[in-house]
Structure 1
Amino acid sequence: MNGRLIAMEGLDGSGKATQTALLCKALAERGIELRRISFPDYDEPSSALAKMYLNGEFGSNPNDVNAYAASSFYAVDRFASYRRFWKQDYQNGALIIADRYTTSNIVFQLSKLPKERWDDFIDWLQDFEYNKLELPRPDLTIYLSMPLKVSQRLLTGRYHGNEEKKDIHESNESYLAACHESAVYAAQHLNWKIIRCAEGEKPRAVEAIHKEILQKVMEGSQ
């Protein structure tokens, strides 16, 4: 019997890695068999095209690569990861927790298209990854909603003020603002669980966010 798949989503600087780690720790302490995965899988050659794209080798603006081409870079990386590393665990009933998943293609690629094409793109993407590539569909998607000003401040801190370390997504605030809008649209239309990660321009406490996420996960498992 297949396991469950939980996708953690959010813009860069929203705290996904931290919250994914805390969630995995809390669930493991409850005796739940799980596996943590993360995308892009930068340690594997399957992420090569995604890395080239983010490094600006196909253009310095995210919109230089259309939504369908960029989505394919990330989808192939997921396909390789699933087939090589976690398909057996998933099919044997384990819980898979993903720091980014197919849902990231919606967050970061949807905004490249006119709004009247958003629904068509979402349908295309889900058919491509879940049907044609035969990747598992998430049972629960949690979207960490962090205001852009706050996430950018946190990213600057992560890179110790060196703006050159940001990739073409992280360094383009107008693009990220558009991604936030498309993420909110997707969350509402695809029943993602939205977790507020800030009060105004001040980040919420990490532990408070974690408790809310854990509650959503435990509710979904019942």
Structure 2
Amino acid sequence: MTGRGRFVSFEGIDGSGKSTQARLLAERLQAQGRDVVLTREPGGSPGAEEIRALLLTGAPDRWSAETEILLFTAARRDHLERRIDPALAKGQVVICDRFADSTRVYQGATRGDLRGLVDELHALMIGREPDLTILIDIDPETGWRRATARPGGEARFEEFGAGMQARLRAGFLALAEEAPERFRVIDGRGSEAEVAEAVARAAAEALA
């Protein structure tokens, strides 16, 4: 396990409900008396939030895939140094809405064959995987409709279209097959409460 704390990441395509489920799990664990830090990527620290604004706004072709990988890695490194590692050292449970698996899929598998570059940078600059990754799996069309209906300006990746969402889903499921000891795949088609119960069962097993 990671340090003295526990590190849980949530992954899934846009509109899967993973952000909601990350929050609900944090609230559940806090109610049980666990010391929880809820954070997100890109972002989670002041410097990383500044990079987030660069990454998630503007035209879909604003950055090349290679530039995105460097920006995401820079944001992740700052997040790790300033928030994740200190929390784990204190014995806290860190719940993160997206982590390195999103970069592996979004930049490494869907915008060119760059997975090797993503993994090399991760090994060099990050060197940490979550103890548990919860993948909320949902139909790509449903996820895309939800994502494009959301208010706000952070829509750059949603603008790549529904076809990309299908490729993203395939990429995440492939990662889950690569690392079954770390991943738990949760069917996201149920109600919010039903999905939350499935997430809670998976987390209880891993965090026991």
SS at match of 1:185: helix
Query: Structure 1 residue runs of 4+, over 4 Å off?
Result: none
- From 159, 179, 195, give the equivalent of 1:171: 159
For residues 131-142 of structure 1, the aligned pairs below 5 Å read 131-142=123-134
- CA deviation after TM superposition for structure 1 residue 19, in Å: 0.5
Query: Contact 2:148–2:155 (CA<8 Å) still a contact in 1?
Result: no
Residue of structure 2 equivalent to 1:51? 53
TM-score normalised to the size of structure 2?
0.85
Residue of structure 1 equivalent to 2:196? 210
Residue segments in structure 1 that go unaligned for 5+ positions in a row: 199-203
Look at both structures and tell me which one has the larger radius of gyration over its CA atoms. 1
Structure 1, 44-53 or 20-29: larger mean CA deviation: 44-53
Query: Contact 1:4–1:96 (CA<8 Å) still a contact in 2?
Result: yes
SS at match of 1:36: strand
Q: Distance in 2 between matches of 1:166 and 1:134?
A: 25
Q: Distance in 2 between matches of 1:36 and 1:176?
A: 25
Residue segments in structure 2 that go unaligned for 5+ positions in a row: none
SS at match of 1:194: strand
Q: Distance in 2 between matches of 1:28 and 1:147?
A: 31
Q: Matched residues, percent identical?
A: 20
Residue of structure 2 equivalent to 1:220? 206
- Structural RMSD (CA): 2.4
Amino acid at match of 2:60: S
**1:29-55: per-residue Cα shift (whole Å, max 9, x none)?**
111122111112177343444433432
Query: Contact 1:169–1:175 (CA<8 Å) still a contact in 2?
Result: no
Query: Contact 2:11–2:136 (CA<8 Å) still a contact in 1?
Result: yes
Q: Distance in 2 between matches of 1:54 and 1:218?
A: 33
TM-score normalised to the size of structure 1?
0.80
**1:155-193: per-residue Cα shift (whole Å, max 9, x none)?**
24323xx9xx46231022222222122111111112221
Query: Contact 1:47–1:73 (CA<8 Å) still a contact in 2?
Result: no
